[in-house]
Amino acid sequence: MSPELKEQLSSVIGSKIVRVTPISGGDSSAAYRIKITDDQLFCKYHGGENGLPMILAEKDGLNAIRATGTIGTPSVIHAGPCQNGAFLLMEYVESKEATDSEMAQLGSGLASLHAVSEDTFGWHSHNFIGSLPQSNTRSHDWHRYYGEQRLWPQLTMALDKKLLRKEEIPEKEGLITTLAEQLGAPRASLIHGDLWQGNYLVSASGKPFLIDPSVSFADAGMDLAMTVLFGGFSRSFYDAYGEETGGVPLHKAQTDLYQLYYLLVHLNLFGGSYATSVRRLLAAYF
């Protein structure tokens, strides 16, 4: 941690910082455990010109989820610019390995979050998926929204980066037609938006928390598809979710087409190791 950031944190906290411990954070941020005299806090720092927009979007998402009262998020203390970036200061949540009953709490909490609904898909502002911009212009048409504001930007980015070839990418209107045929007519649910195993934790007292959100009103199936992309959550999680919702309403095409978005994001962030999975899904559906 830079001296400038440490000084600014001390001023915000209003207390002397006793110790700063780096924590393994995200791929685009630095994370720190902050020890003060009588408490511990968590700080995330994003550098670069997108640092402040990313921090403010994360704050917005955490507060939005927290305001529903459905599932925990770390409380936000302060967010603001610093040096050539920005920082987010939050409560520190001591975590532990989740039990089956705690995973069930996570599942039922997520179901309750997904029950929060609006009439349109999108969000009141644009945000980010990882470090990549994510558009959220409001729409009543889920298939066009998902095609134009999720898949299409990632497909064109992959093309620009020469990670995909032009002949591998469907025409935009054909893409949207296929989505309409395969994805049904979902309601606009409040979703976490990036729900893999690294973006939840269970506190030492057994309370589930969601972290690092990429929120929007979207098909709840996006969260469910993401949970199974890199290994899946526990059976108790899905059972509890299903008890609240009457089942886990996700068929193979939905899973594949929603995972396509997250695989494209990983392709654009991390490169060619994800290209085979992306090409397989593009060939299967388009």
Report pTM. 0.95
pLDDT band per the 50, 70, 90 thresholds, residue 29: confident
Query: Would the pLDDT of 157 be above 70?
Result: yes
Question: Which pLDDT does position 272 carry in this prediction?
Answer: 84
Question: Which pLDDT does position 84 carry in this prediction?
Answer: 87
* Average pLDDT of the segment spanning 135-139: 98
* Average pLDDT of the segment spanning 207-222: 97
Question: Which pLDDT does position 27 carry in this prediction?
Answer: 63
Give the tokens for residue 66: 């927290």
Query: Of residues 194, 212, 219, 223, which has the active-site annotation?
Result: 194
* Average pLDDT of the segment spanning 244-269: 93
Query: Would the pLDDT of 188 be above 80?
Result: yes
Q: Which residue has the tokens 């269970």?
A: 202
The torsion angle over the Cα atoms of residues 72, 78, 80 and 85, rounded to 10 degrees, is: -60
Query: Would the pLDDT of 265 be above 80?
Result: yes
pLDDT band per the 50, 70, 90 thresholds, residue 162: very high
Q: Where would I find the H helices in the chain?
A: 3-13, 51-68, 100-114, 142-146, 152-160, 172-182, 221-227, 235-245, 252-270, 275-285
Q: What are phi and psi of 250, to 5 degrees?
A: -140, 110
pLDDT band per the 50, 70, 90 thresholds, residue 93: very high
Identify whether the C-beta of residue 158 lies closer than 8 Å to the C-beta of residue 278: yes
pLDDT band per the 50, 70, 90 thresholds, residue 83: confident
- Percentage of residues of the chain with pLDDT beyond 70: 98
Kindly list the domain boundaries of the chain, sorted by start residue: 3-91, 95-285
Identify whether the C-beta of residue 213 lies closer than 8 Å to the C-beta of residue 179: no
* Average pLDDT of the segment spanning 92-118: 97
Tell me which CATH code domain 95-285 carries.
Answer: 3.90.1200.10
Is 119 one of the catalytic residues? Answer: no
Query: Would the pLDDT of 3 be above 90?
Result: no
* Average pLDDT of the segment spanning 26-37: 85
Instruction: Match domain 3-91 to its CATH number in 1.10.760.10, 3.30.200.20, 3.40.50.300, 3.30.70.260.
Output: 3.30.200.20
pLDDT band per the 50, 70, 90 thresholds, residue 26: low
DSSP string, 30-81: EEEEEEETTEEEEEEEEESTTHHHHHHHHHHHHHHHHHHTSSB-PPEEEEEE
* Average pLDDT of the segment spanning 221-246: 94
* Average pLDDT of the segment spanning 187-207: 97
pLDDT band per the 50, 70, 90 thresholds, residue 25: low
Closest CA to 283 of 180, 158, 165: 165
Identify whether the C-beta of residue 209 lies closer than 8 Å to the C-beta of residue 231: no
* Average pLDDT of the segment spanning 101-126: 98
Residue 13 to residue 80: CA distance in whole angstroms: 13
Residues whose CB falls within 8 Å of the CB of residue 124, separated by 6 or more in sequence, listed in order: 136
Q: Whole-number mean pLDDT of the chain?
A: 95
Query: Would the pLDDT of 146 be above 90?
Result: yes
